[in-house]
């Protein structure tokens, strides 16, 4: 059967730089002698990602912020994702390598007098076959003599996914996401903070990928398809034709997390744990540890470790079964070929270094390596990935 052009739709999960933008730590400047002066700080970073599934992402990003002594602030950021891929999922549909560019920008404004804070943000993202925009509002309040700070937030995101070369008016999959989050930062001592958090997400709409097509097998053959089965073996065993991915139109997610940070004499240890569950039956947990050592007055290094483990969604099948009936093939109502919805675990090991060449500036470099195992998927059963990010931040009037 003829297949549409399987160009990308929503590769944001591959671009870790999109998640890390704004995470660069800015050096703190001394108080301005002019109480009415606006203080500016900015950061820029360049990151790269490559994995054993032939996916490469290059991302330059920049961010700037202005703050007044009275507590008002405004910020803005911009990034470009340049994605090149020839992954097994693309090759399995007889398609060549493709390259795509994504543009994303964000704006923010807020007020914080040290006790009460209010912040608003907006983000827009665009690529040839996908448009997304979101807006959020967060309110925070310090109490207990500033030994505790509670933050409550709400965010809304609108996603429109289509196919390259086809107007959204002709074909589009639309979905919405509502997010409610709460954080409580507790000062446990002069050098220790604990921050528990809770995130609740409600998603509705068409969430499948427009380009994802799945093979179909009969009852007897499905059990013979092993994990990591090659494209050649799958093509030999499957029934004629392919079926499009189809996901439930609603998804409820909840995630509870806790972050513990402690400052030793010449180092800082940060531990983070997150537990996740959703209405599709997925359960997951993530453990993250980072230990920053001050090896010199303006030089710090750190090792980092992250472990992630998750179960599959309830409708996940390595090989979906189709049945001929009345001249057509009946297939499961819900099906997915996204291995990120299946059983997997990932171990990430990294290291970084940061130096302050001047009082109000900072240079940083981080390198991570990750191994992911997929014990119940087609085509590949593991993936190696590397991620590197170089950043610069400064503060000026």
CATH number at residue 302: 2.40.160
Q: Is the pLDDT reported for residue 10 higher than 80?
A: no
Closest CA to 363 of 386, 336, 392: 392
Of 57, 54, 109, nearest in space to 80 by CA: 57
Q: Is the pLDDT of residue 2 over 80?
A: no
| Contact of 388 with 47, CB cutoff 8 Å | yes
Q: Is the pLDDT of residue 198 over 90?
A: yes
Q: Over 60: is that where the pLDDT of 20 sits?
A: no
Backbone phi, then psi, for 341, in 5-degree steps?
-95, -5
Q: DSSP alpha helices (H): ranges in 211-345?
A: 219-222, 231-237
Question: What CA–CA distances, in Å, run from 162 to 10, 126, 128, 132, 336?
Answer: 10, 12, 9, 12, 18
User: What is the rounded distance in angstroms from the CA atom of residue 211 to the CA atom of residue 87?
Assistant: 13
Residues 299, 267 contacting (CB under 8 angstroms): no
User: Would you say residue 239 lies in a domain?
Assistant: no
Q: What is the pLDDT of residue 284?
A: 98
304 Cβ partners below 8 Å, 6+ apart?
Answer: 288, 289, 290, 348, 349, 350, 351, 352, 366, 368
**Angstrom distances, CA of residue 190 to CA of 141, 262, 265, 318:** 20, 9, 12, 52
In a domain, 186, yes or no: yes
The confidence band for 23, taking pLDDT boundaries of 50, 70 and 90, is very low
Alpha-carbon distance values, 219 to 20, 312, 322 (Å):
45, 21, 8
Q: Specify if 298 maps to a domain.
A: yes
pLDDT of 92 higher than 80: no
What pLDDT score was predicted for residue 89? 84
Output the pLDDT for position 94.
67
Give the strand order in the sheet containing 213-217: 242-244, 213-217, 320-321
Within its chain, how far is the Cα of 221 from the centroid?
Answer: 36
State the Cα–Cα distance between residues 230 and 193, nearest whole angstrom. 49
Owner of token pair 């599959």: 312
Q: What is the mean pLDDT of residues 366-390?
A: 97
Model confidence band, residue 34 (pLDDT cutoffs 50, 70, 90): low
Transcribe 73-89 into DSSP letters: EEEEEEEEEEEEE--HH
Greater confidence (161 vs 23) lies with: 161
- pLDDT tens profile 340-355: 999 999 999 999 999 9
Query: Which residue would you say has higher pLDDT here, 331 or 306?
Result: 306
**Measuring CA to CA, which residue among 355, 321, 324, 319 is closest to residue 337?**
319
Q: How many helices (H) and strands (E) does the chain have?
A: 4, 21
Give the lowest-confidence range in 22-36, 65-79, 277-291.
22-36
Give phi and psi for 216, each to the nearest 5.
-120, 140
Residue 350 belongs to a domain: yes
Q: How confident is the model at residue 331 (pLDDT cuts 50, 70, 90)?
A: confident
DSSP 323-349: EEETTEEE--SSB---GGGSSEEEEEE
- What is the chain's Cα-based Rg? 23
Could you tell me the CA-to-CA distances from 32 to 28, 230, 294, 296, 397 in Å, in that order?
11, 63, 27, 27, 8
Q: Where are the alpha helices (DSSP H) in 67-226?
A: 88-91, 219-222
Note whether residue 112 is domain-resident.
no
3-state secondary structure of 392: strand
Choice among 17-26, 217-226, 313-322, 324-333 with the minimum mean pLDDT: 17-26
Let me know if residue 221 belongs to a domain.
no
Q: What is the pLDDT of residue 29?
A: 39
Cα angle vertex 174, ends 169, 180, to 5°? Answer: 150
Apex CA 89: angle with CA 56 and CA 389, to 5°?
A: 20
What does the alpha-carbon distance between residue 251 and residue 142 come to, in Å, rounded to a whole number?
33
Which is higher by pLDDT, 221 or 12?
221
User: Any idea which of 41-45, 212-216, 247-251 has the lowest mean pLDDT?
Assistant: 212-216
User: ∠156-160-165 over CA atoms, to 5°?
Assistant: 160
Residue 30: which pLDDT band, with cuts at 50, 70 and 90? very low
Whether residue 300 lies inside any domain: the answer is: yes
Does residue 261 lie within any of the structural domains?
yes
| Number of domains forming the structure of the chain | 1
Q: Which two tokens stand for residue 303?
A: 């090792």
Residue numbers of the domain that contains 156: 12-35+126-212+249-314+338-396
pLDDT digits (tens, 9 = 90+) for 379-391: 999 999 999 999 9
Q: What is the pLDDT of residue 14?
A: 39
Whether the predicted pLDDT of 33 surpasses 90: no
């Amino acid at each position: 059967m003829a297949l549409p052009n399987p160009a990308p739709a929503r590769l944001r999960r591959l671009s870790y730089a999109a998640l890390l933008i704004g995470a660069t730590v800015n050096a703190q400047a001394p108080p301005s002698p002019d109480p009415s002066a606006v203080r500016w700080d900015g950061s820029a970073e360049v990151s790269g990602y490559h994995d054993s599934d032939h996916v490469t992402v290059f991302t330059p990003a920049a961010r700037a912020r202005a703050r007044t002594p009275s507590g008002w602030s405004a910020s803005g950021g911009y990034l470009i994702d340049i994605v090149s891929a020839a992954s097994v999922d693309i090759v399995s549909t007889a398609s060549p390598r493709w390259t795509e560019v994504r543009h994303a920008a964000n704006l923010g404004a807020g007020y914080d007098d040290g006790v009460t804070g209010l912040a608003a943000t907006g983000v827009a993202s665009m690529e040839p076959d996908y448009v997304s925009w979101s807006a959020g509002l967060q309110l925070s309040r310090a109490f207990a003599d500033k030994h505790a700070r509670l933050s409550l937030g709400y965010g809304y995101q609108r996603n429109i996914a289509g196919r390259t070369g086809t107007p959204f008016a002709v074909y589009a999959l639309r979905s919405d996401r509502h997010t409610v989050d709460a954080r409580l930062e507790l000062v446990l001592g002069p050098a220790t903070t604990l921050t528990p958090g809770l995130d609740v997400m409600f998603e509705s709409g068409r969430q499948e990928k427009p380009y994802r097509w799945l093979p179909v097998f009969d009852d007897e053959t499905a059990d013979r398809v092993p994990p990591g089965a090659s494209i050649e073996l799958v093509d030999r065993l499957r029934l004629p034709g392919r079926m499009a991915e189809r996901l439930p139109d609603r998804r409820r997610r909840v995630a509870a997390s806790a972050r513990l940070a402690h400052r030793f004499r010449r180092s800082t240890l940060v531990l983070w744990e997150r537990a996740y569950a959703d209405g599709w039956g997925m359960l997951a947990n993530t453990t993250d540890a980072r230990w920053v050592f001050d090896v010199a007055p303006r030089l710090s290094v750190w090792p980092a470790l992250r472990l992630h483990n998750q179960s599959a969604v309830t409708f996940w099948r390595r090989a979906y079964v189709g049945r001929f009936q009345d001249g057509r093939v009946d297939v499961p109502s819900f099906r997915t070929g996204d291995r990120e919805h299946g059983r997997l675990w990932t171990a990430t090991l990294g290291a970084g270094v940061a130096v302050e060449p001047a009082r109000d500036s900072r240079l940083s470099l981080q390198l991570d390596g990750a191994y992911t195992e997929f014990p119940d998927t087609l085509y590949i059963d593991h993936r190696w990935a590397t991620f590197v990010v170089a950043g610069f931040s400064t503060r000026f009037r």
